[in-house]
Amino acid sequence: MNPPLLAVSGISVAYKRGLSSKYSVQAVRGVSFSAWRGRTLGLIGESGSGKSSALNAVAGLVKPIAGEIIFDGKPVGKRRPGMSMIFQSGAIDPKMRIADVVAEPLRNHKRMPAKDERAAVIKLLEMVGLPSAFMERLPWELSGGQLQRAGIARALALRPSLLLADEPVTALDPDAKEQILDLLARLIKEFRMACVFVTHDLEAARYLCDAFCIMQNGEIVERGGVYRIFNEPQQAYTKLLLESGAVCAG
């Protein structure tokens, strides 16, 4: 197999609380996983199991206290332009017009004439299925699904090779959820992105992912292909998760 785009090995994440200078919460304990282009890895686990913390460490939002993150063959630096992250909501500043939202990464990374920028924004909106008329709108004039699309358009602006997704469909109604999952699957294939998909929604995970890491209490307790995890779960915790997720094996 060719080398992974992202190789995370033995990272730990801990938080301080209040005034103390000591780490009081250990959210992630020595977790390793890899992601390949064109494939989606699911980080699955119950609330508080450390999924977001692990993902945030990859994105550079928290500094891991131990471990190593190799991206595109090199240890990650402070800036990680090859990665893009999407969130539960569109993660959009409530006062920014959609055009500015989508153009923001472009403006931060390279200067281009206004005309080119506009064309780029229209193209990005089109990619995620939003009409260009939405450019002038403000976030509150969009539905949850449309906001998520705008967030995805912004994430694609710099043509990332790694997409980090933290519960991107959890807050959506079933229709919108299905559409966004379809869109993500299509974009991941089209741009050959690697994707790390964090969720506790097994149905969504099964739809999008090729492989799973099951997290419990800051550790990965089981990993494997989707088919194997669903049909032959090894760990009691995984079985419990599958049962509570009410997803029938198939």
Partner 1 sequence: MRRIILGCAAVCAVQLILISLLVFILSELMPGDALTGRISPSITGERLREMRGQMGFDRPWGARYASWLSGIFKGDFGVSFSHKLPVAQLVGEKFGNTLLLGAFSFLICYALSVSFGVIAGRYRGSWPDRAVSSGSYALMSIPQAVLGILAIFIFGYTLKWLPPGGSVDSGVLGPLALIMSRLRHLILPALTQLVRGEVAAGQEAEYILSLRSRGVAPSRVFWAHILRNSLIPAMSLSGSYLAALLGGTALVETIFSYPGIGKLFVDSVLKRDYPTANFILLLTAFMAAAGTLLSDIIMNRLDPRIKML
Ligand X SMILES: Nc1ncnc2c1ncn2[C@@H]1O[C@H](COP(=O)(O)OP(=O)(O)OP(=O)(O)O)[C@@H](O)[C@H]1O
Can you read off the two tokens belonging to residue 25? 């919460």
Question: Among the residues of 74-198, which ranges form H helices?
Answer: 98-109, 114-127, 144-156, 174-190
9, 15, 81, 192: which one binds ligand X (CB under 6 A): 15
**By CB under 8 A, is residue 104 in contact with partner 1?**
yes
Task: Identify residues 24-53 at the interface with ligand X (CB under 6 A).
Answer: 25, 27, 45, 47-53
Cα(250)–Cα(247) distance, rounded to whole angstroms?
A: 9
**By CB under 5 A, is residue 52 in contact with Mg ion?**
yes
| Contact map string, positions 177 to 216, toward ligand X, x by CB under 6 A | -----------------------x----------------
81, 231, 232, 236: which one binds partner 1 (CB under 8 A): 81
Tell me the HSE value of 218 on the side-chain side, using a 13 A CA sphere. Answer: 14
**Start-to-end Cα distance in the chain:** 27
| Contact map string, positions 161 to 180, toward partner 1, x by CB under 8 A | ---x----------------
Helix then strand then coil, % of the chain, to nearest 5: 40, 25, 35
Candidates 19, 54, 59; CA nearest to 164 is 59
Cα(140)–Cα(131) distance, rounded to whole angstroms?
A: 16
3-state class (DSSP) for residue 28: strand
Q: What does 80 bind: Mg ion, partner 1, ligand X, none (CB cut-off 5 to 8 Å by kind)?
A: partner 1
Closer residue to ligand X in complex, CB, 52/161: 52
Count of residues of this chain found to bind ligand X when the rule CB under 6 A is applied: 13
Binding window for Mg ion (CB under 5 A); candidates: 49-57, 95-103, 156-164, 202-210:
49-57
User: In whole angstroms, how close is the CB of 200 to Mg ion at the nearest point?
Assistant: 8
Cα(121)–Cα(106) distance, rounded to whole angstroms?
A: 9
Closer residue to ligand X in complex, CB, 2/47: 47
User: In whole angstroms, how close is the CB of 105 to partner 1 at the nearest point?
Assistant: 6
User: In whole angstroms, how close is the CB of 113 to ligand X at the nearest point?
Assistant: 41
Burial 16-52 (b: 16+ CB within 10 A, else e): eeeeeeeeeeebbbebebbbbbebbbbbbbeeebbbb
| Contact map string, positions 125 to 164, toward partner 1, x by CB under 8 A | -------------x-x----------x------------x
Closer residue to partner 1 in complex, CB, 154/206: 154
Q: What is the CA radius of gyration of the chain?
A: 18
Tell me the HSE value of 45 on the side-chain side, using a 13 A CA sphere. Answer: 25
Task: Identify residues 57-76 at the interface with ligand X (CB under 6 A).
Answer: none
Interface residue list for ligand X (CB under 6 A): 15, 17, 25, 27, 45, 47-53, 200
Interface residue list for Mg ion (CB under 5 A): 52
